[in-house]
DNA sequence: GTCTATATAGGGATAGAC
DNA sequence: GTCTATCCCTATATAGAC
């Protein structure tokens, strides 16, 4: 708890927003992303992360105040990209027609940042815990948004279930894709998944 | 490692296959199912399980040789039900048409045993670890089966992606359903999800 | 079948040297 | 910025009494 929350670090390192910084901080995040995904957040120790980077466990604490802070930083990145696909959604006025466009953008975001999405797909419990503790910015949270939409009784149940299915189809297929379709170009895969999602949201027999 | 692997227990308890036994062993499994789902396998300690049951941590070791054995036992139940939906599938001869029937059965199995499916949806990493260590009966494993089907180059890529999407739609919607559609009867929910899955596998414009 | 007490290990985190 | 050494805590698991 000694460092400031997130992003503010000592020394002359590049700003958090700038790209292509290969600072130690970045390398820690990269390895953590890998290990958290493979072995899970809880099963991954700071020792293992440090080992891969060639230095000791304690060194990590210069860059992050806690293990949880590493996860939080990765979570922030997910939000960053998630917002790109979900900006300006009104939970009250949602419809399958609008959902088509949203899911299209989501497919692109997932394909562009697959490891990040896989990480959180495989560590839902750790994510939940994060949300329960720190509810900063929880309003703009992706999950909460979906909850609002899918629980909205103004929308026909059938449509809500379809939206849940479409979301599941997109997430499921793209998360599986790394193992199942490793050689398929992202563009091709994205097009196929989008088509499938469209058929869920707006089946041929509907208005 | 003192007890025999699974199911063989001392004393006059009912056979593992018999239903409605409310033995301590069963109660441990029930509580573990709850806690593993809510807080995750790794974050749940045997102390917490014992606390809920009103006895001490050590007592659990009379019924299970290890914490992992509890998870294994729950995993076996999942397989039991999974097999019901996936019996006699030939990975080589799979098609969207056949997948429709399989997914229909899978929807029923999930709706009938939702907590179990949610457990493993939320604890994929723990499950993976299980599979890596004990590969007994891994052949009849659900995940391995899907891998074989979805990686089979004999099947058109489009169809394989559709199957992955349909699976994701079913799993996603039904896992979300506990929170999103708690009041919807299973039969109604199942019908809606099946319809959606059908539209993914066999969209109106196809043969 | 359940208890208390304990062995053993490993985790996250801190202090202070370099 | 990274190190070693250490603290403290909690976890799984075992031993042996009841």
- Whether residues A168 and B170 touch (CB distance < 8 A) is answered with yes
Cα–Cα distance list, A165 to A160, A169, B7, B42 (Å): 9, 6, 37, 29
- Chain C positions with any atom < 7 A from a protein CB: 1-5, 10-16
Digit-coded pLDDT (tens) for A36-61: 999 999 999 999 999 999 999 999 99
Q: Tell me, what's the pLDDT at B42?
A: 98
Mean of per-residue pLDDT scores for chain B:
88
Q: Tell me, what's the pLDDT at A139?
A: 58
Cα–Cα distance list, B145 to A126, A184, B41, B160 (Å): 28, 21, 25, 13
Does residue A107 contact residue A197 with C-beta atoms inside 8 Å? Answer: yes
**Ordered alpha helix ranges (H), chain A:** 24-39, 46-53, 57-63, 67-86, 96-112, 114-121, 124-133, 142-151, 157-180, 186-201
A30 pLDDT more than 50: yes
Q: Which of A5-14, A74-83, B40-49, B163-172 has the lowest mean pLDDT?
A: A5-14
Q: Which of A81-95, A138-152, B123-137 has the lowest mean pLDDT?
A: A138-152
A32 pLDDT more than 60: yes
A120 pLDDT more than 80: yes
CA B10 – CA B3 distance, rounded (Å): 9
- Whether residues A150 and B197 touch (CB distance < 8 A) is answered with no
B78 pLDDT more than 70: yes
As given in the structure block, the two tokens for residue A120 are 């959180």
| B47 CA, D13 C1': Å apart | 12
Residues touching nucleic chain D (CB < 7 Å): A 10-11, 13, 23-24, 50, 54-59, 61-63; B 1-2, 44-48, 57-58, 61, 65-68
Mean of per-residue pLDDT scores for chain A:
89
Reduced to 3 states, what is the DSSP secondary structure of residue B182?
coil
Q: Between B39 and A145, whose confidence is greater?
A: B39
Give the rounded percent of residues in chain A with a pLDDT score beyond 90.
72
| A61 CA, C16 C1': Å apart | 14
Q: Tell me, what's the pLDDT at B137?
A: 64
Q: Tell me, what's the pLDDT at A140?
A: 66
CB count within 10 Å of CB A158 equals 15
Average pLDDT over residues A104-119: 96
| B7 CA, D17 C1': Å apart | 27
Nearest to B147 among A39, A165, A180 (CB): A180
Top residue of B199, B204, B206 to mutate, by most chain A CBs within 10 Å, is: B199
B12 pLDDT more than 60: no
Nearest to B199 among A147, A189, A199 (CB): A199
Q: Tell me, what's the pLDDT at B21?
A: 63
Nearest to B200 among A123, A181, A200 (CB): A200
């Amino acid at each position: 708890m000694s460092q400031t929350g997130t992003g503010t670090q000592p020394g002359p390192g590049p700003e958090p927003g700038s790209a292509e910084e290969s600072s130690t901080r970045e390398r820690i995040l990269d390895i953590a992303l890998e290990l958290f995904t493979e072995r899970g957040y809880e099963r991954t120790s700071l020792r293992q992360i440090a080992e891969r980077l060639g230095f000791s466990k304690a060194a990590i604490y210069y860059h992050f105040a806690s293990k949880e802070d590493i996860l939080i930083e990765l979570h922030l990145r997910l939000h960053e990209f998630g917002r790109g696909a979900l900006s300006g959604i009104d939970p009250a006025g949602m419809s399958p027609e609008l959902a088509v466009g949203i899911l299209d953008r989501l497919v692109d975001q997932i394909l562009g940042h697959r490891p990040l999405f896989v990480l959180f797909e495989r560590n839902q419990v750790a994510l939940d815990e994060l949300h329960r503790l720190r509810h900063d910015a929880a309003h703009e949270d992706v999950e909460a948004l979906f909850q609002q939409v899918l629980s909205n009784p103004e929308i026909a149940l059938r449509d809500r279930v379809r939206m849940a299915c479409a979301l599941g189809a997109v997430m499921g297929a793209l998360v599986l894709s790394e193992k199942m379709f490793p050689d398929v170009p992202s563009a091709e895969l994205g097009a196929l998944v989008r088509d499938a999602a469209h058929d869920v949201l707006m089946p041929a027999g509907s208005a």
